[in-house]
Amino acid sequence: MPAHYPVLPSLWRNIQPETVYQMRDARKVSFSRKQVRLGSRQDARGKHIQVIETGDVLPAGHQGLVPSELAGYDRKTKVLGQGGNRRYHGYFTEDGTLHFPGVVAGH
């Protein structure tokens, strides 16, 4: 029987660090305490959470998850417009959970 995880909240203030959440398409995601603090401070409207929910997209002209260029990281968030000057980088854990440890970079 598959495990059930809580649904990913739409705002950083409602995310519990190190908790595995289920996205709409059944993928799993988790966030470190550092990532939750960064998101709460830098992304109060939750745009990065929305693009995580969107999932993988083509890099040009789309919002969502795109490949990360940082060694050891698999995906990064891509937000267009206001709030898009930061990218949160994440990696897949052994069980397939996309984990965001609190690594942020400009684009």
pLDDT exceeds 90 at position 84:
no
pLDDT for 16:
97
Output the pLDDT for position 83. 58
* 15 vs 82: CA distance, rounded Å: 22
pLDDT the model gives residue 107: 64
Per-residue pLDDT at 13 = 95
E strand segments, the chain: 21-22, 28-31, 64-67, 75-78, 86-92, 98-106
Query: What predicted TM-score, i.e. pTM, was given to this entire model?
Result: 0.92
Predicted confidence (pLDDT) per residue in 39-76, tens digit? 999 998 999 999 999 999 998 889 999 999 999 999 99
What pLDDT is recorded for position 103? 96
Q: What is the rounded distance in angstroms from the CA atom of residue 72 to the CA atom of residue 101?
A: 12
Mean pLDDT of 4-31: 94
| Extended beta strands in 10-54, E state | 21-22, 28-31
